[in-house]
Structure 1
Amino acid sequence: MAENTQVDVKKLSFERAIEELESIVKRLEDGKVPLEESVAIYERGEALKRRCEELLRQAEARVDKITTDASGQVTGTEPLDVQ
């Protein structure tokens, strides 16, 4: 397994966590990972997923705080529409 799994999930940036999660998904989909290792990387994947969700919630809260109108007045807490 790659050495990056030694890094504490709580210290990873969103981009790094999502990159590692994608790598884990690819490895599991290939089906060439021994059972014990599959379970271990699946557990790491779950931790990475939770980290990404946490970081997304934090980012959304920050965006909610800075929602203002043209005069600089807060207009409320509208979720950011990224589409």
Structure 2
Amino acid sequence: MATAQALSTGEYKLFPNPRNLHRVVFAHQVFVPYPYMLIEMESYYLKGRYSLFAANRISDNKAGQLATFEDAADEAKFKAKFVPD
């Protein structure tokens, strides 16, 4: 049943985070290769809309998470503040 919710793009196979307010793949994206890390998007205090997906990068079959952002400034903020556990 989980595969019914999967989204495919040219680069990724995505599974939406159930806590997403928006299940949209926005233009600004950051792939992080930490599939089991808890990422609390609210703690970044982003200005625009965003979404988080469990992701499988098709080119190298790498598992991780894909954070997508409506605003480029939010993407830059996420990259600057993201620290893996």
Whose RCO is larger (CA < 8 A, sep 6+)? 2
Question: Do both share a fold (TM > 0.5)?
Answer: no
Larger radius of gyration: 1
Q: TM-score category by the smaller chain? A: under 0.3
TM-score (norm 1): 0.24
TM-score (norm 2): 0.24
Q: Which has the higher strand share?
A: 2
